[in-house]
Chains A and B, each alone.
Chain A
Amino acid sequence: MSPASVFVCLSLTLLSDYPVIRVKPDNSGVVTDGVKHSMNPFCEIAVEEAVKLKEKKFIKEVVAVSCGPTQVTETIRTALAMGCDRGIHVEVSGKDYEAMGPLQIAKIFAALAKKEEASLVILGKQAIDDDCNQTGQMTAALLDWPQGTFASEVTIDGEKVKVVREIDGGLETIKISMPAVLTADLRLNTPRYATLPNIMKAKKKKIANMKPADLGVDMVSRVEVLRVDEPPTRLAGVKVETVDDLVAKLKANGTI
């Protein structure tokens, strides 16, 4: 029996263009106004994988989901242009959006996955602005579904999914039952370009709108950001003449 629908959960991230990202003067966060946002690269890989699975006829429908302000619909449209069938925009804006973290997002995705009876939830492994690497894992835990994270290869085998994971020691292959949560790593695939005809077709695809409250999700954050600082400026090094000098200096400043 082939899975009915796959949810691809997208994140809209800050593009880290180093000259441009600055810490706010009050150290409460990073300046996001006027900084270009775009679909998280790992989420693009997730979309590509979902669309490929549909093309191979393992799944019937791909739904692109994202949480955030209105801007996020652009990201969903890009996913539709890449081949997703429909989109869901969960509207979160203002203070709620600033405080939104992986746990809140995971609660939303979990609620949606249950509501729509998804068989697979695919996410990017982490967002490139906060590098949390938590949302996928939390979503799986909330749903009590198996997870295949850091996937570099995904194969559907009947009711199970074989996932090759990139881990510190190398590659690990696991087989998990569906429904399941997967997170995409860099080498899973190379995302396609949307074609001109698909971009035009995407206009006609539906994006449903809803709020976290509609899903019974409370957006209160359990995490309080105390302070955000820039990394310390790199200090100049010191040149020494001999190895003995080096050892002496390292001992003097307590390094060894």
Chain B
Amino acid sequence: MMDCHFSLLYSAVLAIIWTLLYSVCAMRDTILNSLLAAAHGLSDEQKEFQKMAFDFAAHEMSPHMAEWDEKEIFPVETMRKAAQLGFGGIYVQPEVGGSGLSRLDTSVIFEALSTGCVSTTAYISIHNMCNWMIDTFGNTEQREKFCPELCTMDKFASYCLTEPGSGSDAASLLTTAKLEGDHYILNGSKAFISGGGDTDVYIVMCRTGGKGPKGISCVVVEKDTPGLSFGKKEKKVGWNSQPTRAVILEDCHVPVTNRLGQEGQGFNIAMRGLNGGRINIGEMAPDLPFLARDHLLVRKQFGEALSNNQFLQFKLAEMATKLVASRLLLREAAVALQESRSDAVSLCSMAKLFVTDECFNICNQALQMHGGYGYLKDYAVQQFVRDIRVHQILEGTNEVMRMIIARSLLSESG
């Protein structure tokens, strides 16, 4: 599980077609145009992307979100529909089938998509990250071989860095890749791999050289390669619409032509992928304050609507403020990354840290505001809380984010 992505809750889908037209459009437009302003500051084109992504999330994802979670369904067909709209390789070059959009465009799209299902959007963004890594660091043959099918989601991808013994300390990974003739022989295991076992293309960081980051290379392992196997499907608190398994490599022969970039470049490639991934993992939950507000307006206790209660009003205000602040920081980080600014890495870490912490709090607070109902699986709030909780952990824990930011600050003063 590497990438965290925007997740937005989008729960109210009414049964009748007429009201579906009205209410879906209304909720989307409420989110887009209210004070919480998801559409403000965007170009006309970005607003179109956003509107389209919101609609897709509302019609194709939101109605199934609970079922995917409960039955642990990996929604291949829905994701392929998304790919047909260009969501399989959002920031991959058009000549290999991608949509060629910017990081900011991408963050707007994922923010909107996540209203439909956090977990599925998270996987889509991991897939996009892997696709981008091949597009950016692969040679012409590799790009032409892998990217087109990843863009259409005919094939799915997984990112394999974490191991049982190396999570935060990723550079200490132990999976080896010994060169023998024109093949690498891979041995080792990867843990917590999103999509593991159900995906087709595995981007594996492995050790071709000595200790530390400079000894690591990045290799593409295809499904059904002898020596590639998987652990049991993990039982998780959330992110249930994507399977998570250990990836096991036992004398797995991978052609040298599947190596991305140079030997020793693997760690750098992995981290470059994560910078963008960190932006995508900032799950926004932009409709959670609305869900909470709507509940407060309706629920009456002590003779009046909860929305008259000052404490709850203040809580709502705090949620809204944190949401807008999160969005601004995230979009700024996206812009910094696409402009290759010197502060990009720090900003991406700051954004990831701030947004994931705040948005979990927002979701949690929204659940609290729903009272007992918030704890029932009939209500979508709890799924958001469960799905979004992991975003503070993966893609680099929020503790690691602090390490990166501190290191950058301290080296500046030196």
Give the residue of B22, B44, B45, B47 whose beta carbon is less than 8 angstroms from that of A15: B22
Where chain B touches its partner, the secondary structure class is helix
A52 to chain B, nearest CB (A): 16
Residues of A237-252 at the interface with B, using a CB-CB cut-off of 8 Å, are none
Cα distance A186–B86 in the bound complex, in angstroms:
27
Give the residue of B26, B44, B45, B85 whose beta carbon is less than 8 angstroms from that of A195: B85
A193 & B56 in contact (Cβ 8 Å cutoff): yes
Cα distance A199–B55 in the bound complex, in angstroms:
14
B360 to chain A, nearest CB (A): 29
The bracket for how many chain B residues form the interface is 20 to 34
Given A36-B33, A38-B29: A200 touches B45 (CB 8 Å cut-off): yes
| Stretch of A73-81, A97-105, A135-143 that contacts chain B | A73-81
B32 nearest CB neighbor, chain A only: A36
B208 to chain A, nearest CB (A): 37
B45 & A36 in contact (Cβ 8 Å cutoff): no
Check: B225 CB closer than 8 A to any chain A CB: no
Check: B90 CB closer than 8 A to any chain A CB: yes
Q: Mark B21-38, 1 if CB is under 8 A from A, else 0.
A: 111011001101100000
Check: A112 CB closer than 8 A to any chain B CB: no
Cα distance A1–B158 in the bound complex, in angstroms:
52
Check: A41 CB closer than 8 A to any chain B CB: yes
Given A36-B29, A197-B99, A199-B45: A17 touches B86 (CB 8 Å cut-off): no
A81 to chain B, nearest CB (A): 6
Check: A205 CB closer than 8 A to any chain B CB: no
B52 & A193 in contact (Cβ 8 Å cutoff): yes
B49 & A15 in contact (Cβ 8 Å cutoff): no
Check: B48 CB closer than 8 A to any chain A CB: yes
User: Within 8 Å CB of B30, what residues of A?
Assistant: 17, 36
User: Within 8 Å CB of A41, what residues of B?
Assistant: 21, 25
B21 & A128 in contact (Cβ 8 Å cutoff): yes
Interface centre among A41, A186, A193, A194 (most CB of B within 10 A): A193
User: Within 8 Å CB of A77, what residues of B?
Assistant: 44, 48
Cα distance A74–B47 in the bound complex, in angstroms:
10
Check: A16 CB closer than 8 A to any chain B CB: yes
Cα distance A26–B90 in the bound complex, in angstroms:
50
B48 & A194 in contact (Cβ 8 Å cutoff): yes
Cα distance A74–B26 in the bound complex, in angstroms:
17
A17 & B45 in contact (Cβ 8 Å cutoff): no
Check: B15 CB closer than 8 A to any chain A CB: no
A81 & B21 in contact (Cβ 8 Å cutoff): no
Residues of A71-124 at the interface with B, using a CB-CB cut-off of 8 Å, are 74, 77-78, 81
* A-B contacts, 25 listed (Cβ < 8 Å): A15-B22, A15-B26, A16-B22, A17-B22, A17-B23, A17-B26, A20-B26, A36-B26, A36-B30, A36-B32, A38-B25, A41-B21, A74-B44, A74-B47, A77-B48, A78-B51, A128-B22, A186-B17, A193-B85, A194-B48, A196-B90, A196-B101, A197-B94, A199-B49, A200-B99
Give the interface of B toward A (CB within 8 A): 17, 21-23, 25-26, 29-30, 32-33, 44-45, 47-49, 51-52, 55-56, 84-87, 90, 94, 99, 101, 109
Kindly list 16 other residue pairs between chains A and B, CB separation below 8 angstroms, not including A193-B52, A196-B86: A15-B26, A16-B22, A17-B29, A36-B26, A36-B33, A41-B21, A78-B48, A128-B22, A193-B56, A193-B85, A199-B48, A199-B49, A199-B52, A200-B45, A200-B99, A202-B48
Give the interface of A toward B (CB within 8 A): 15-17, 20, 36, 38, 41, 74, 77-78, 81, 128, 186, 193-197, 199-200, 202-203
